[in-house]
Structure 1
Amino acid sequence: METLDWIILQVTLVSIVVYGVWKTRGSKSVDDYVLGGNDAKWWTIGLSVMATQASAITFLSTPGQAFHDGMGFVQFYFGLPLAMIVICMVFIPIYKNLKVFTAYELLEKRFDLKTRTLTAILFLIQRGLAAGITIFAPSIILSAVLGWDLRTLNIIIGVLVIIYTVSGGTKAVSVTQKQQMFVILLGMFFTFFFILGSLPSDISFSEALKIAGANEKLNILNFDFDTKNRYTFWSGITGGFFLALSYFGTDQSQVQRYLSGKSIRESQLGLIFNGLLKIPLQFFILLVGVMVFVFYQYNSSPINFNPAATEAIENSEFKEDFVILENEHNAILREKRMVKNDFSTALNLKDYDAIEQARLEMVSLNEKEEQNRQAARVLIEKADPVIETNDKDYVFIHFILNNLPKGLIGLLLAVILSAAMSSTASELNALGTITALDLYKRNVKKDLTQKHYVNASKAFTLLWGIIAILIACVANLFDNLIQLVNIIGSIFYGNVLGIFLLAFFIKFVKGNAVFIAAIFTQVIVIIGWYQDWMSYLWLNAFGCSLVILIAILIEGFDRMMKGVQEN
């Protein structure tokens, strides 16, 4: 990194923190600190909701996901617009009319305190883990690529977020996320157009798409009914719907964003804004990853993008075997360039037989390349079993550091760290609020002053910030980071969503039945995930349906037994 990159990175991050503290200083009431004074406009809500979901993991992992597996991951978001409609019609009016500070406050009004407490604890477990991962994700990758100390990075990101989140609460999170989203979108657009400009002069954008399509990177829709297939149209429209409905409808890190709205209409418009833009945004981020793939069809790429893995091999007995694989990899890349030229020539001549022949050759070479990469992963694992061999999360950052011009590198690193800060800030804000209001206020200290609960919220936010940093310092990479966050969410979200749907729509079910059903459901879902009964996305629908069914059965059995006793 050059001096210009360091200046851009530091100025961007420090400016966001200082602006957040200055803009939101002086919160004196719970309403100001937790709900931001209820004066947020729809565009602030929409950007804040989007920034909360778009963590650093999104901008590190998603392009790498597209590089290796193509655009199919976008199906994960197909259920989101439908979820936004349901939340706007059902959840927001109920929350706003009841004037709740947290989503779980509603559960005490409908059921009882123990159900509210249990659901809040489920949220704290999964969101606390996720907060640590959103810090850890950019830290471990930047540490491996730049040589920075991992724990120091975890602490820097965590402390920056803690400063303005503790200081200003919900409003600080919302106002800084607007700036963070601007930086994020600016950086991604610059990167996209830089890639297009870096392709050979005779390769247009449309031809780049044809090359990506010929390499099976543009296969967006998969209508397979196999529930173990992670990304299909059906898993997105059902499992993705339940995940989005639970995340945006019951997760306090999102609910707190739109509870700060000036009115029901402002909150609804903010979520509709997110629903309309989220899929195009994810499509664009995946497309950037596909363009990185096209870029590396004409430029050299490492056999494994994780520099720590390469270093481990260099210092092991498997070095010579790895060099052989690298030479084979480079030979395949040279063959691929020749086939790409044949493909481009055939496209220009509209020779369809030649186009198909070149396409089949590209597919065959891609299979050879993947086999070679897999053989390299096996060697890396033998050299050091601790090193992460799956390099999806390293593809984009490798491209940034090795190909972007001065200044743009600093901007893209600012994108990654800004995204980490925005999502972590929302999570810490929500964790502190839930701990203070749903656990501390209702179970420990009741009926104290507004100032006391504001201070308690700040203290718990600080505590969760420290916990998140500690989790980040002991975390390990897992397949693909964006999948890890969604897996953690899917284990808990279905159960929580089912509890809320029982509260909204099934009036005869009471608190005891829901409480018992929620405990049984969580145990079964964890077992189902561990035993790999189904793809993690389906766990959302499974958990939601299961808790509803068990609660209805328990309530029905309880009523039947009471009827027998009365007779």
Structure 2
Amino acid sequence: MSNIDWIVLFGTLISIVAYGVWKSRDTKDMDGYLRGGSDVKWWAIGLSIMATQASAITFLSTPGQAFNDGMGFIQFYFGLPIAMIIIAVFFLPIYYKLKVYTAYEYLETRFDMKTRMLAAFIFLIQRGLGAGITIYAPSIILSSLLGWDLKITNVLIGVLVIIYTVSGGTKAVTQTQKTQMAVMMGGMIIAGILVITSLPTGVGFGDALNVAGKMGKLNVVDFSFDLKNRYSFWSGMTGAVFLFLSYFGTDQSQVQRYLSGKSLSESRLGLMMNGLLKVPMQFIILFIGVMVFVYYQYNQPPVFFNDTVKEQVYSTDYADDFRGLESEYTSIFDEKLDAVNQLNAAMKTDDPQEIEQAQALVNSIQAQSDEIRNEAKAIIEEAVPGAEINDKDYIFMTFVMNVLPVGIVGLLFAVIFSAAMSSTSSELNALGGTTTIDFYKRRVKQDGDDLHYLKSSKLFTLAWGILAIIVASTLSLFENLIQAVNLIGSLFYPTVLGIFIVAFFFKSIKSNAVFIGAIMSQIAIIVIHYLNVEGIAGVFTMGFLWYNALGCILVVLFSFIIKGLRDK
């Protein structure tokens, strides 16, 4: 990167940290630290909720997801508005009525302490892993692109977040997230405009849409019903609804965002804002990925997008084989470029037969290109054992570094760092608060004063921050980073949501029944996932988003069965 890019990057990051520390300098009690003083306006709540969910993984992985698989991932968010309405109607009034610091306090009122502890413990496990991933995910990409050591990148992101989160708590998180959202969305919109203007002369926006559509990248909705399909209309309107109910309704990193609102109405408006704007936001990010795909139909892409791994291959005995594939990939690209130009010309004639022939030719050559990419990945796997052969998460930032102008490159890196900081700060804030309120204050020291618990919250937040850095330094890449986050959530969220669903809607079920039912459900989901991974699940084979519905239903079902057995 140029000196200007470095200035833009670090200037943005330092300004965000300083702003967070300054705006929360007067936080001196637990209410201010964990609920931000309960005076946050609805639009700030909405931005904070969006920023918490919009991690660096969103901006790294989502364009790559669209580059490879098209716009279908947007279906994952179709159920979000429904979930927001349910939470606003049923969850929020109870939280506000009880004036809780954490969502899990309610469970002790409804059931007992052990059920509260179980839900809080599952949250700590799931979100503790999640905090490590939200640091690690951008770190591994950024360290490769910038040539930094991975541990240094982990520590840099972690320390920046720890500084203002420990200092100001919820208020610092909320204040910085307003700035971070402006940086994130401003940077991505600029990137989207520049992707389109980077297309060759004579290739307009309409031409780009035609190419993307004919190559299958604009297929937004899939109505086919298949449990193995991760992203379809049905998984988005069922499994994803349960996931969003769990995440926004029971995950303290989100609950803490809207508990800081001035009133119940303000918090509801913040949730509705998130429900209305999140889908368009994800659509824009996915669409940018599709436009990057179109850009690379006119400009030679690399056969593999992770340059660091490629350099390792060049120093092995497989170098000649890999370079041979690169040469073949270039030759096929020249053929495909001619075919794409033919497709554009055919679209202008409006002749269905000519368009169909041109489309078939383009997609046939694209299939050959994809096969060569797969062969290149196979060589990488042989040449560099243990190397990550999935390069989806490198596609967008490779485009940024190679194509976009000076200054914008630094801004886009600032977007990734800002996103990592925004989501991680919410997680650490929630982890520290939950540890203090649900465990330390409830079980260890019940007679401390407000100042004592304030200091304890800061120490626990610091401890979780250090642990997140350690976890980030020991992780390995999943198939795709954004899928990794959704998978971890789908394994643990359903149990917690099931407990809350029983608490809200099935008053006859008592603590012991739901406690045992929750444990049984959690074990069942882990077993089913293991069988799926091993390929021996049989009739239970399903995409992981379906775990969210299944796990929640199992908690309710098991609770009723246990209640029935105990009543006999």
TM-score (norm. length: structure 1)? 0.98
**Distance in 1 between residues matched to 2:353 and 2:150, nearest whole Å:** 52
SS in 2 for 1:474: coil
> Which is further off, 307-316 or 456-465?
307-316
1:551 is aligned to 2:559: yes
* CA displacement, residues 103-147 of structure 1 (integer Å, 9 cap, x when unaligned): 000000000001100110100001000100100111100111221
Aligned to 1:221: 221
Aligned to 2:259: 259
Q: Which amino acid aligns with 2:284?
A: F
* CA displacement, residues 347-394 of structure 1 (integer Å, 9 cap, x when unaligned): 222232221111001110111111111111110000112110010001
Q: Say whether the 8 Å CA contact 1:70–1:218 is kept in structure 2.
A: yes
Aligned to 2:507: 507
Aligned to 1:564: none
Q: Which amino acid aligns with 1:330?
A: T
Gaps of 5+ in 1: 561-567
* CA displacement, residues 295-316 of structure 1 (integer Å, 9 cap, x when unaligned): 0111111101011221221011
Q: Say whether the 8 Å CA contact 1:401–1:409 is kept in structure 2.
A: yes
Please list, as runs of the form range in 1=range in 2, the aligned pairs for 1:179-328 lying within 5 A after superposition. Answer: 179-328=179-328
Aligned to 2:71: 71
**Distance in 2 between residues matched to 1:139 and 1:184, nearest whole Å:** 17
* CA displacement, residues 183-211 of structure 1 (integer Å, 9 cap, x when unaligned): 00111011111111111221111221110
Q: Say whether the 8 Å CA contact 2:243–2:494 is kept in structure 1.
A: yes
Q: Say whether the 8 Å CA contact 1:343–1:355 is kept in structure 2.
A: yes
Give how far 1:521 is off. 1.1
> Which is further off, 459-468 or 198-207?
198-207
**Distance in 1 between residues matched to 2:318 and 2:227, nearest whole Å:** 39
Please list, as runs of the form range in 1=range in 2, the aligned pairs for 1:149-548 lying within 5 A after superposition. Answer: 149-532=149-532, 533-548=541-556
Please list, as runs of the form range in 1=range in 2, the aligned pairs for 1:98-117 lying within 5 A after superposition. Answer: 98-117=98-117
SS in 2 for 1:17: helix
Give how far 1:556 is off. 1.5
SS in 1 for 2:217: coil
Give how far 1:331 is off. 1.0
Q: Which amino acid aligns with 1:38?
A: S
**Distance in 1 between residues matched to 2:139 and 2:27, nearest whole Å:** 31
Give how far 1:438 is off. 0.4
Aligned to 2:14: 14
Q: Which amino acid aligns with 1:2?
A: S
**Distance in 2 between residues matched to 1:435 and 1:316, nearest whole Å:** 49
Q: Which amino acid aligns with 1:356?
A: E
Give how far 1:495 is off. 0.8
**Distance in 1 between residues matched to 2:266 and 2:408, nearest whole Å:** 35
Q: Which amino acid aligns with 2:557?
A: L
Q: Which amino acid aligns with 2:63?
A: P
**Distance in 2 between residues matched to 1:230 and 1:349, nearest whole Å:** 38
Q: Say whether the 8 Å CA contact 2:210–2:344 is kept in structure 1.
A: no
**Distance in 2 between residues matched to 1:128 and 1:329, nearest whole Å:** 42
Q: Say whether the 8 Å CA contact 2:80–2:275 is kept in structure 1.
A: yes
> Which is further off, 60-69 or 333-342?
333-342
Give how far 1:29 is off. 1.7
Q: Which amino acid aligns with 2:511?
A: G
Q: Say whether the 8 Å CA contact 1:308–1:387 is kept in structure 2.
A: no
Runs of 4+ deviating beyond 6 Å: none
* CA displacement, residues 434-455 of structure 1 (integer Å, 9 cap, x when unaligned): 0010011111111210011111
> Which is further off, 127-136 or 219-228?
219-228
**Distance in 2 between residues matched to 1:106 and 1:555, nearest whole Å:** 21
* CA displacement, residues 37-95 of structure 1 (integer Å, 9 cap, x when unaligned): 10000000000000000000000000000001100000111111100000010111111
**Distance in 2 between residues matched to 1:102 and 1:25, nearest whole Å:** 23
SS in 2 for 1:60: helix
TM-score (norm. length: structure 2)? 0.98
Give how far 1:319 is off. 1.1
**Distance in 1 between residues matched to 2:417 and 2:552, nearest whole Å:** 34
Aligned to 1:563: none
SS in 1 for 2:367: helix
> Which is further off, 392-401 or 313-322?
313-322
Q: Say whether the 8 Å CA contact 1:51–1:181 is kept in structure 2.
A: yes
Q: Which amino acid aligns with 1:92?
A: L
Q: Which amino acid aligns with 1:96?
A: Y
Gaps of 5+ in 2: 533-540
* CA displacement, residues 314-333 of structure 1 (integer Å, 9 cap, x when unaligned): 01111111111111111111
**Distance in 2 between residues matched to 1:550 and 1:9, nearest whole Å:** 52
**Distance in 2 between residues matched to 1:530 and 1:485, nearest whole Å:** 17
> Which is further off, 348-357 or 419-428?
348-357
Q: Say whether the 8 Å CA contact 1:20–1:176 is kept in structure 2.
A: yes
> Which is further off, 216-225 or 287-296?
216-225
Aligned to 1:56: 56
Q: Which amino acid aligns with 1:535?
A: G
Query: Alignment RMSD, CA only?
Result: 0.8
Q: Which amino acid aligns with 1:436?
A: T
Q: Which amino acid aligns with 1:15?
A: S
Q: Say whether the 8 Å CA contact 1:28–1:450 is kept in structure 2.
A: no
1:85 is aligned to 2:67: no
* CA displacement, residues 232-288 of structure 1 (integer Å, 9 cap, x when unaligned): 110110001000011000000000000000000000000000000111110110000
